[in-house]
Chains A and B, each alone.
Chain A
Amino acid sequence: MDNTTTINDIQFSDAAMAEIQRYISHYPPDRKKSAILPVLHIAQAEFGGWVSSQVQDKVAEILGIAPIEVYEVATFYTMFNLKPVGKHVLEVCRTGPCMLRGADQLIEHLEHRLGCKVGETSADGMFTLKTVECLAACGMGPMLQIRETYYENLDPDSTDKLLDDMRNE
Chain B
Amino acid sequence: MGRKILTEHINVPGINTLEVYRKMGGYRSVEKALKTMTPEEVVEEVKKSGLRGRGGAGFPTGMKWSFLAKPEGKPRYLVCNADESEPGTFKDRVLMEKIPHALIEGMITSSYALGARTSYIYIRGELMFVLRILEKAIAEAYASGLLGENILGSGYSLDLHVHPGGGAYICGEETALLESLEGKRGNPRNKPPFPAVQGLYACPTVVNNVESIASVPWIVNNTGEEYAKIGVGRSTGTKLISAGGHINKPGVYEIELGLPVEEFLFSDEYCGGIWKGRQFKAIVAGGSSVPILPAQLFLKTAEGTPRVMTYESLSEGGFVSGTMLGSGGFIVMDDTTCIVRNTWNFSRFYHHESCGQCSPCREGTGWMEKILHRIEHGHGHMHDIDLLVNVSKQIEGNTICPLGDAAAWPVASAVRHFREEFEWHVKHPEAATQPGAVYRGAEVASLV
A interface, CB within 8 angstroms of B: 26, 28, 31, 33-38, 40-41, 63, 65, 69, 72-73, 76-80, 94-97, 99-101, 132-141, 145, 148-150
Contact = CB atoms under 8 A, between A and B. Distances in A.
A139 B251 contact: yes
Given A37-B165, A41-B164, A139-B243, A148 B87 contact: no
B270 interface: no
Interface stretch (B3-11, B88-96, B103-111): B88-96
A148 B163 contact: no
Interface string B147-189: 0000000000001010111111100000000001111111000
Given A73-B166, A145-B126, A139 B182 contact: no
Given A97-B245, A133-B353, A73 B183 contact: yes
B166 A76 contact: yes
Contacts of A137: 90, 93
B168 A77 contact: yes
B164 A136 contact: no
14 contacts: A31-B182, A31-B201, A41-B166, A72-B184, A76-B185, A80-B166, A96-B87, A96-B331, A96-B349, A97-B88, A100-B245, A136-B84, A136-B92, A139-B251
Given A37-B180, A138-B87, A99 B349 contact: no
A151 to B, nearest CB: 12
Contacts of B159: 26
On chain B, which size bracket covers the interface? 35 or more
Interface of B: 84-90, 92-93, 120, 124-129, 132, 159, 161, 163-169, 180-186, 201, 242-246, 250-252, 284, 288, 329, 331, 333, 337, 341-342, 345-346, 349, 352-353, 355
Which residue among A73, A99, A134, A135 has the maximum number of chain B CB atoms within 10 Å of its CB?
A134
Contacts of B342: 96, 99-100
B113 to A, nearest CB: 22
A159 B288 CA distance: 27
A138 B88 contact: yes
A139 B244 contact: yes
Given A33-B183, A139-B252, A145-B126, A134 B85 contact: yes
A133 to B, nearest CB: 5
A40 B164 CA distance: 10
Nearest to A100: B245
B90 A148 contact: no
Contacts of B352: 133
A90 B124 CA distance: 18
A133 B341 CA distance: 16
B90 A136 contact: yes
Contacts of A65: 183
Nearest to B284: A96
A92 B365 CA distance: 22
Contacts of A139: 90, 242-244, 250-252
Contacts of B353: 133
A79 B185 contact: no
